[in-house]
Amino acid sequence: MHNIEKYIGLLAGIVIGSAQFIYLLNTLSRKISPSVLSWFGWACLMGTSVLSQVAGKGWQWNLMSLVCSTVGCFTIAAVAFLSKNYSFKKSDWKFLVFGLVCVGIYLLSNDPWVTTVFAIIADVVLGIPTILKAYREPATEKSPSWVLGVVSSTLALVICRHHDWIYVLFPTYLFLFNGTMVWLTRIRG
């Protein structure tokens, strides 16, 4: 069973890495202007979530997609910022402040459940600028990356079948977030 989890985890990492590579190419070609705060915040939160889950429960292969996401999110934020192709509105600051409050609670807790729940809350808050942009202007976020995000989180959920519920939380959230983005940019848009 462990080898199957390893291969599914690697596949989930490859899928999310591919999604973020496509999003990065869309950013470089200026088809998309990422919300720089969302992407940088996601990199920090996912990285911290991986570290807290590994410290609390040990390494599980369903974390592979989160590791790849961490690297990809940071790269997207950095490239968008350095190429001056990013979305940033004055109202994004309030989401950053609220997200930082959640991050503070998240970092102060030694309980992996509390840290994972607050990581998800902070992630949602930091994602609000991206969701709002996709709602208002679906074409500015239309990318196959969101579909691949659904696939990757589904693979991570498959691995979670025989593990503690804590491992299910973040992949479930990612499935719902990416699914919302697919709906906003492809189905509704």
| Angstrom distance (rounded) from CA 73 to CA 98 | 20
pTM, rounded to two decimals: 0.80
Amino acid occupying residue 184 = L
| Angstrom distance (rounded) from CA 31 to CA 145 | 13
Per-residue tens of pLDDT for the chain, all 189 residues: 568 888 888 898 899 889 999 999 999 999 999 988 888 888 877 787 777 778 777 777 767 777 888 899 999 999 999 999 988 877 777 766 776 676 677 678 777 788 778 778 888 888 898 999 999 999 889 999 999 999 989 998 988 877 778 878 888 998 999 999 999 998 875
Report how many domains make up the chain: 1
The domain containing residue 117 runs over which residues? 2-187
Helical spans, DSSP H, in 29-91: 36-57, 64-82
- Site of tokens 């729940």: 117
For CA atoms 142, 145, 149, 150, give the dihedral sign.
positive
